Amino acid sequence: MTFKSRIRNFFANKWVRIPYYFFLYVFAILGAGVFSAWVMFQSGLMSSNDFGMVDPNNRYFQEMDDKYNQGFKTDSVNVVKHRYEALNRIMLLNRYYPLNANYILKAWTETKDEKLTLRMLDAVDLRMQENSQYQSDIAQMQNNLSPRQNTNLSVFEWMNIAEWISFKEAVKKDKYYIDSAAKVSGVEPRLILACLVGEQIRLFNSKRESYKKYIGPLKILVVENNFSYGVTGIKETTAQRIEQNLKDKNSTYYLGAEYERLLDYDSTQNFDAAVNEEMSPTVKRLVQMKNHYYSYLYTALFVKQIKMQWERAGFPINDRPEIFASLFNLGFNKSKPKANPEVGGSSFEVGNTHYTFGAVAFEFYYSGELQEIFPFKRARFDYEKVPEPKLF
């Protein structure tokens, strides 16, 4: 039997023929399918994307897009809110992945773009969904950032009374005089104002009629003219001692030659008025109803003289506005330099709460109230001589 005959007989066997034709047709169909797909792809009838899938987090991506394109507010209040959230989330992420936290912080530092920063953090949060501790920390952080109550009131209760609102309007009218006294004395305007606040707030309850007559309807400050004088309530003996200290080179309060003639009397200026004709020249300057410049100047010089006394004794208190205010209220005789000075002064009641002069001055100074017209300076004394800080 020839070789061809043997081959023919082999394929004639049904156990060979049937599997052979089965696989032949299968591979033919697969080949035709692959070729057809190749033709359709080359002709543009089919895209490689058709072989993709929808990401399981697609809904998350859409929600984020809606959040930032529809509900993301960029007014000044919300920008601050977004910034707080972003920086807090960066600090939290730093506990888990410092590398990513550093990248995000760098982006925010360079762009100051809260929207971008929050979206970068959202990308991180997507990958941290299974980290239960991180999710718990995020929830706690968001809870801490949420306001406990919706209110426009101040945490400092005495700033919520009607008198305070009127006082702020009144003190704005004196900006020129406060700034002028600050410039010649080298004392920060806000520090002068802290002493004024303590004195005027003290009068809210003790001289209610003065409020009804002056601060409330006219939006002007109360000028005291009995024992204590002017809008800051300076005693005549205190004012005279301030004048003496300017000229006494041996005094621990001495400020220097450039200040010696600052309070000299100008004979061309007439401070007489019907209500104060019998008063001394010093008091006449303090009790002017419309011009409060000398009230602020005497206040500033008292504060600066106290500063020099404590510095020379080795106990500087430049960073203690509450101590300056307390001593301003108590007077020179109570100013005794020491390592641990006490905050205090006159005690008075506003509403149903008791305060001391120094505590009220402290709360005002650091409250941020009125900073748009009496901003924080680089230093509390001689601030114009302090250079701008270098940024590295």
Whether the full predicted model's pTM is greater than 0.85, yes or no, is no
pLDDT-based confidence at 235, cuts 50/70/90? very high
- The answer to whether residue 218 scores a pLDDT higher than 50 is no
The residues with which 348 forms a beta bridge, in sequence order, are: 355
Chain centre to alpha carbon of residue 211: 32
Listed as own residue / partner, the contacts of 304-311 with beta carbons closer than 8 Å and 24 or more positions apart are 304/185, 304/186, 304/187, 304/255, 304/381, 305/242, 305/245, 305/253, 305/255, 306/253, 306/332, 306/335, 307/381, 308/252, 308/253, 308/254, 308/255, 309/252, 309/253, 309/335, 309/337, 310/335, 310/337
pLDDT at 58: 67
pLDDT at 154: 86
Which range is most confident: 51-55, 100-104, 274-278? 100-104
pLDDT at 223: 73
**Chain segment 280-338, per-residue pLDDT in tens:** 888 889 988 889 999 999 999 999 999 999 999 999 999 999 999 999 999 999 999 99
**Chain segment 29-45, per-residue pLDDT in tens:** 766 666 666 556 555 55
Report strand pairing: 234-235 vs 228-230.
Answer: antiparallel
Contacts of 375 (CB under 8 A, 6+ apart): 190
- The answer to whether residue 260 scores a pLDDT higher than 50 is yes
For the domain made up of 157-384, give the CATH fold. Answer: Lysozyme (1.10.530)
Ranges 50-59, 91-100, 350-359: which has the least confidence: 50-59
**Chain segment 316-326, per-residue pLDDT in tens:** 999 999 999 99
DSSP single-letter state for residue 386: S
List phi, psi (to 5°) of 149. Answer: -155, 150
The pair of three-digit structure tokens given for residue 99, joined into one six-digit string: 């590398």
pLDDT at 51: 52
DSSP string, 251-310: STT---GGGTTTT---TT-----TTTTTS-HHHHHHT-SS--HHHHHHHHHHHHHHHHHH
Work out the mean pLDDT of the chain and round it to a whole number: 81
- The answer to whether residue 364 scores a pLDDT higher than 90 is yes
pLDDT-based confidence at 392, cuts 50/70/90? very low
Give Cα separations from 106 to 68, 99, 113, 300, 388 (angstroms): 21, 11, 11, 44, 25
pLDDT at 369: 94
Mean pLDDT of 369-375: 94
Structure-model confidence comparison of residues 59 and 227, the more confident one: 227
pLDDT-based confidence at 142, cuts 50/70/90? confident
- Domains in the chain: boundaries: 58-141, 157-384
- The answer to whether residue 357 scores a pLDDT higher than 60 is yes
